[in-house]
Structure 1
Amino acid sequence: MFNFKTLAMRHPLNNIVAEIQKQERKLSAETSSFIDEAYKMTVYLQELLCSVKDDVIKEGFSSKDEEIHFFKQVKPNILGKLIYYNKVYRIETACPVDNGNLHQNYFALQLRDLKQEYQEHICNSEFYRYYRSGRTDRDGHYFTLGNINYYDGLNSFVFEIDPKFSTYFDYKVAKIIANELIYNYLTTKLSPEQNPDVLLQQEETKDFFWTQTKNALIELIYALYACDAISHGKIGIRKISMVFQILFRISLNDIHNSFHRMKTRAGSRTLFLDQLKYSLEEYMDREDNL
């Protein structure tokens, strides 16, 4: 087991993010469903957060800058992912059917509720504008212990937090991170035609559509993800999938189950990638003979 304190407090943020991504990759390969993966990630992140909390309360911080970094960057990234996976587990286990109108309406309703929460409680707040602008001038107030101002009329959950391990605003950052992840998850669940944020469905892209099988596209997506070909591996498989689904106007449904079936199919497990290699080499040979 890695040293939580060293990872979370003494090293840059990307170390702890990399450790979480490593666990995500491991569980993605081992679990048979997204429900199982979400549950195991929830347990893992809860244990991680508890371990970090024990170290913080026991050891404290060596400087104010370290304290700000922890509550602005490190803890929210752990807690944000924890909120996300717990929410996904709850959504998936309550989903009525695997496909059809009821399935689509269910996820559309979840997306509507998420957007309503964002509009009512997040986007119009002074803190949200501060955080999104990248400002740092009030970090000492927002991200150090002992500065909770009850005169501001804060949300009631503030009375349940541990003042030794929360500045109140670290939770707000975690919620922003979680909501973005949940939004990306929900948009992949909806078919591209119903996607409320169709970034690429412009007139100039109307002729783009996928002509191979859905499994072939899933195979390609996982290959790009596995070799860190997109954003140095920092973008999750579902976000990559969402972009491809929007671009090609295709719904891939549960890509995890499809991927796990590929791992156990007879013959080559990479049928499409094998065909890609063969087709490209054949094309190169034709070019050489022209």
Structure 2
Amino acid sequence: MEIVLNKILSQIHYQEDKLSSQMMPTADEAYQMTLFLNEMLCAIKTKVLQAGFRDQNQEIEFFRNIKPQILGKLIYYNKVFRIETTCPVNNGKIHQNYYENLLKNLKSEYKENICNEDFYRYYRAGRTDRDHTYFKLGKINYHDGLKSGVFEIDLSFSTYYDNKIAHIIANELLYTYMLSKINPEENPDTILQNLDTNKDISWTNSQNALIELIYALYASNSIAYGKIGIRKLALIFQVLFRTPLNDIHHSFHRMKTRAGSRTAFLDQLKISLEEYMDKDL
């Protein structure tokens, strides 16, 4: 059995990009990703239970790096779906308070259940000396005083600590998501709806292409000598093209780890310009 992390990430990123390009509501996108990731995890679980692992290194790699990436995203998108489908209003003070309270609860959960544990420090330090204990099936030591969640997991497909990493990943993604909802510059839908700008000026490529362009201009200090922050720069482009961009930081993170060229749009932009130049020769 060979389950490769890069291939898994590529499949997840492709599905995320595909749904993002369809401009669907956040709740619908989160729901579709939840279904996709759950199906992926179930399929991989079937392979693991049937074939097992080639050796100890493959088992540790799976439970430390591969499964947490899938489960972490699954936890994240399921949480986003629940958040968006229970939000009382679309804007205003109640809307702001809703996300601020969620962020406060998230920080509290992080302090109580994640950052104060020895395992968290082990994982964050990038240590590997106890991987044979943390990421092999049947190695759970109940003398460590584990939380009761250990009794709720499938011990044929979890070492308990892979779930810990998944929740760390989900927590970080949710933190970024909450900030984007709280900061008005990251949620300019109301501004876009009320503008009287020319509707013919629209962005006709994908959201990810626009985000790639925005980050390129930001990284090169091409606008206002780099004195404009990425959030404000993104807002300018959203207003200009009447195009809402959902969670640009998350999208940029996906770009950094996607398969193939990480600057696909900029690469194509260069080719298109050179072809256009050649027409005049």
TM-score, normalising length: structure 1: 0.68
1:47 aligns with 2:35: no
Could you tell me which of 177, 184, 195 is aligned with 1:185? Answer: 177
3-state SS of the aligned residue for 2:116? coil
Unpaired runs of at least 5, structure 1:
195-211, 231-242, 261-276, 282-290
For 2:233 and 2:242, how far apart are their aligned partners in 1?
20
2:231 matched to which residue of 1? 245
For 1:107 and 1:16, how far apart are their aligned partners in 2?
31
1:173 matched to which residue of 2? 165
Could you tell me which of 3, 11, 26 is aligned with 1:19? Answer: 11
Could you tell me which of 65, 78, 83 is aligned with 1:86? Answer: 78
1:258 aligns with 2:250: no
2:256 matched to which residue of 1? none
Q: 1:129-150, CA deviations, whole angstroms, 9 ceiling, x for partnerless residues?
A: 0000000100110011111111
1:221, distance to aligned residue in structure 2 (A): 6.5
2:22 matched to which residue of 1? 30
Which residue identity is paired with 1:79? L
2:66 matched to which residue of 1? 74
1:233 matched to which residue of 2? none
1:124 aligns with 2:116: yes
Could you tell me which of 147, 150, 155 is aligned with 1:158? Answer: 150
1:120, distance to aligned residue in structure 2 (A): 0.9
> Aligned pair in 2 of structure 1 residues 139, 218: CA closer, same or farther (>3 Å)?
farther
Identity of aligned residues (%): 50
Q: Check whether the contact 1:76–1:174 (CA below 8 A) recurs between aligned residues.
A: yes
For 2:125 and 2:48, how far apart are their aligned partners in 1?
28
Q: Check whether the contact 2:72–2:168 (CA below 8 A) recurs between aligned residues.
A: yes
For 1:216 and 1:131, how far apart are their aligned partners in 2?
45
1:27, distance to aligned residue in structure 2 (A): 1.4
RMSD: 3.6
1:145 matched to which residue of 2? 137
Q: Check whether the contact 1:192–1:249 (CA below 8 A) recurs between aligned residues.
A: no
Could you tell me which of 121, 133, 139 is aligned with 2:125? Answer: 133
For 2:95 and 2:154, how far apart are their aligned partners in 1?
39
